[in-house]
Amino acid sequence: MTERTRVRTNCRFCGYLCGLIAAVEDGRVTDIEPDPSRYPFDANLQSGCRRWRANLEFLDHPDRVNYPLKRVGERGSGKWRRLSWDEALEDIAARLQDLKERYNPEALATSIGGPHATYWPLHRFMSLFGSPNNIGIGQICWNPGVWINSLTYGWPVENELDPDTTACVILWGTNPAESDNSLFWRRIVQFSRTDKPLIVVDPRQTRTAMRATLWLPVRPGTDAFLALGMLRVILAEKLYDAGFVERWCHGFDELESHVAAYPPDVVAGITGVEAGKIREAARLYALHSPASLISGRGIDQLGRNSAPTHQALAILRAVTGNLDVAGASHLCEMPDFIPEVDLELSAALPEAQRMKGLNQGRLMLQSYRGYEHVQKHTQRHDKRLPMRYLTSAHPNLAWQAMLTGKPYPVRALIVMGSNPLLTQADTHLVYQALKSLDLLVVLEFFKTPTAMLADYILPSAGGMERPLFQTHAGIANIAYGGEQAVQPYYERRSDFDFWRELGLRLGQTNGWPWKTFHASLEATLEPSSITWRQFCESGLYHVPSPYQKHEQIDPATGIERGFATPSRKVELCSQTLAELGYKPLPTPELTPVSNDGSSLLLITGARKQPFNASALRQMEDLRAANPEPVAEMSAETAARLGLADGCPLLVETEYGEARFILKVAPMREDVVSVEYGWWYPEMPACEPDLGGVWVSNANVLTSANIETSDPLIGTWTYNGLPCRVFAVEAAMERTYER
């Protein structure tokens, strides 16, 4: 007899983890629909999103990896044999133990990606194994803002947008029309229908920018100069919040002297934004309170200018009084459930192994020493940042260690929730490093280009096959997620199961007190006010904190709480940066601009719905909506170069070349923006094609050389790279060499 049930579950194709209702028959999902009773509590929000509908196709896609696979031919040959989970885990554990004995624990590295997996079990395993070398993408996504806001305010902030309360919005380096397309985008649309100012800073006139009352088409890489120009206007015209500055800001006099060098007329020549518009933006933001300033990945990817940009934006919020104020921003609180920093067992990694972290002596903040330097201040408010994310190894250093054995050999890599051949800079270098390894293990849904080079591909349980619990890495008292709809199909397993089983085989018995992921989730929520079942009822746990927490009286001292910084104030002039030997005020670098007419500035991080980074290109319906990789440039730039809309292009940098289709779009001149994350699952899943990784991959055009990266965090440059563009017909004789 067929058993039919309706089960509350979640979509996993973006960070919202929207609630779904799954129709289940005999353990198989047969249909899905939005669940308006669970977060985000509005089925209409999903009406404009095509991703959630793809969950059915994704769940039983013919290309899914369903069983553990072991390489039997040469690396990249595409030859595999099926084996059991026990065989795979036993062999992987034995090989890791051998490498540990020969080279020490740091010979193992891991690679992670965006927030579409549960990473604390991976970090927990690495802490117990003894390796500091987890590789992530944090240096160009999330980490810069978390680090700089923590230095400036004592902890990260969440920026708010309430169409009823917020009086002005600046969206800086973010395009939620494509990257979000859900609750946040709906609020922007609602806000844009009011008579309140919406300012968008972006070289492209995106769908988001088209809703702006003021669009600032900044030259890529010069955002910090624009922010400093706005600060000059606000300070010179005394538009700042004098009361807040006097009582709660440190270093105002130094800031005032510093920004005197950035008058709008000078900044206009650097940024390409008219001086009048710089003044207008500054006045709108300062005179409409509360004002929300929301930045995105665009400024996380500015290389050496990323940290100065974040610092200038943090200062803009503070001097205008838009810090920890309803409708503008709120200073986050740690969760009242078990935070990421404890789940990852950071304290279990011995000091001697921390000092072997590849970033030690190379990066001032993104290292264990930098973490400790900042934590001594955050602990004043009993707060601890997630250690593993904020000490993750600089990828360039890891790839070099694999190839050269310096400063020591890195011989094994386990990849989870990541596809470094697509998502890491300098694809050529990543390829060489992966090919050189003694052991490469990939946990995946599909045979991605990275998985094609693996020794083992292990099948991961995906959306609706495992519970979800996303927590902003423990920097805020919020969580999203919910229950699985079905048991994993075939022999797929959750990430937790893999790390626990591998850990037990390597002697980590005491480090894994929970037998199941569910048990760990129950334990995680135990200190809070709800159970896992109660959490799943709504799919959201959020305990709002009061605003203006710096004014609260600390019962232990009888004085105001202040900020968790050296001065107990907002650090406009950062004492911590000065202590580290870095400039305490935002001081961006000016990159020369070519005037030969043939060189453009390249943006490599553009996302396009309905894809999510490098994922979902196997989905037929989603691929039909965006079948080819696009490079955008203005009509004026295309005409000057003799290029027509729709023509095939070859984009070339000093690092490599990739092919795209030209789309003429409204944007500033002399800029080309290419889509991120492109590969071709329909191409052969073996050498030399590797799923088309060499054809249209934006990261073939990039580098993350540590010598040119930001010395604080290690941020490399994805936006503002010099490049040249050719029609493919004019470049057919150009040969591509890996």
| Secondary structure element (H or E) that encloses residue 538, with its range | helix 532-538
Which residue reads 């989603």 in tokens? 622
CA-based R_g, the chain, Å: 25
Give 544-549 contacts, CB < 8 A, sequence gap 24+.
545/330, 545/331, 545/332, 545/333, 545/477, 547/324, 547/325, 547/326, 547/330, 548/324, 548/325, 549/324, 549/331
Given this model, what pLDDT does residue 735 score?
Answer: 40
Tokens of 316: 């803009």
Under the phi-then-psi rule, with left for phi > 0, alpha for psi from -120 to 50, and beta for the rest, what region is 190? alpha
Is the backbone of residue 474 left (phi > 0), alpha (psi -120 to 50) or beta? left
Per domain, the residue ranges of the chain are: 4-59, 69-139+339-461+489-531, 157-331+569-579, 600-731
**The tokens of 471 are what?**
């927590």
Which of 30, 10, 12, 13 lies closest to 21, judged by CA?
A: 10
Query: In a 10 Å sphere around its CB, with 0-12 CB exposed, 13-18 middle and 19+ buried, how is residue 514 labelled?
Result: middle
Distance CA 505, CA 254 (A): 57
Topology (CATH) of 157-331+569-579: Dimethylsulfoxide Reductase; domain 2 (3.40.228)
Residue 430 to residue 407: CA distance in whole angstroms: 18
To which residue do tokens 């129950």 refer?
522
Helix, strand, or coil here: 18?
coil
pLDDT tens digits for range 102-157: 999 999 999 998 766 789 999 999 999 999 999 999 999 999 999 999 999 999 99
| Helix or strand holding residue 152 (H, E) | helix 143-153
Q: Residues 210-227: pLDDT tens digits?
A: 999 999 999 999 999 999
Q: CB–CB of 457/444 below 8 Å?
A: yes
Q: Do residues 249 and 318 lie in contact, with contact meaning Cβ atoms separated by under 8 Å?
A: yes
Query: How far is 228 from 353, CA to CA, in rounded Å?
Result: 40
Q: What is the DSSP letter of 453?
A: G
CATH topology of domain 4-59: N-terminal domain of TfIIb (2.20.25)
What does DSSP say about strands 28-34 and 671-675: parallel, antiparallel, or unpaired?
A: unpaired
Burial class of residue 417 in the structure, from the number of CB atoms within 10 Å of its CB (0-12 exposed, 13-18 middle, 19+ buried): buried
Closest C-alpha among 69, 111, 78 to residue 412: 111
CA distances from 117 to 18, 467, 677, 733 (A): 15, 11, 18, 43
The pLDDT of residue 115 is 67
Could you list the mean pLDDT of each consecutive 10-residue stretch along the chain, which spans 738 residues?
Answer: 87 89 96 93 82 92 97 96 98 98 98 85 98 95 96 97 97 89 88 97 96 98 98 98 98 98 98 98 98 94 96 98 97 96 94 96 96 94 95 98 98 96 97 98 97 98 94 94 97 97 98 97 96 96 94 90 97 97 96 71 88 87 91 97 96 97 97 96 97 97 97 96 88 41
- Report how far residue 481's alpha carbon sits from residue 463's, in angstroms, rounded to the nearest whole number: 11
Q: Write out the DSSP string of 476-532.
A: SSEEEEE--SSPPSTT-B-HHHHHHHHHHHTT-GGG---SSHHHHHHHHHTTSS--H
Nearest to 235 by CA among 214, 254, 212, 259: 259
Q: In Å, how far are 41, 72, 143, 540, 639 from 36, measured between CA atoms?
A: 5, 48, 33, 13, 48
**Residue 680, SS3 per DSSP:** coil
Angle between helices 143-153 and 368-378 (to 10 degrees): 40
- 0.75 exceeded by pTM: yes
**What is the spatial distance between Cα 185 and Cα 480, in angstroms, rounded to a whole number?**
18
- Quote the CA–CA distance of 688 and 75 in Å, as a whole number: 11
Domain 69-139+339-461+489-531 classified CATH 3.40.50.620? no
Query: Distance (Å, rounded) from C-alpha 688 to C-alpha 692?
Result: 9
What is the greatest pairwise CA distance in the chain? Answer: 79
Q: How far apart are CA 412 and CA 93, in angstroms?
A: 12
214 phi/psi in degrees, rounded to 5: -145, 120
The CATH topology of domain 600-731 is Barwin-like endoglucanases (2.40.40)
Smallest CA-to-CA distance from 649 within 151, 657, 262, 580 is with: 657
pLDDT tens track for 471-521: 999 999 999 999 999 999 999 999 999 999 999 999 999 999 999 999 999
Instruction: Give the pLDDT of residue 738.
Output: 36
71 phi and psi angles, rounded to 5 deg: -65, 135
The closest alpha carbon to 415, from 458, 471, 386, 358, belongs to 458
Q: What is the pLDDT at residue 598? A: 67
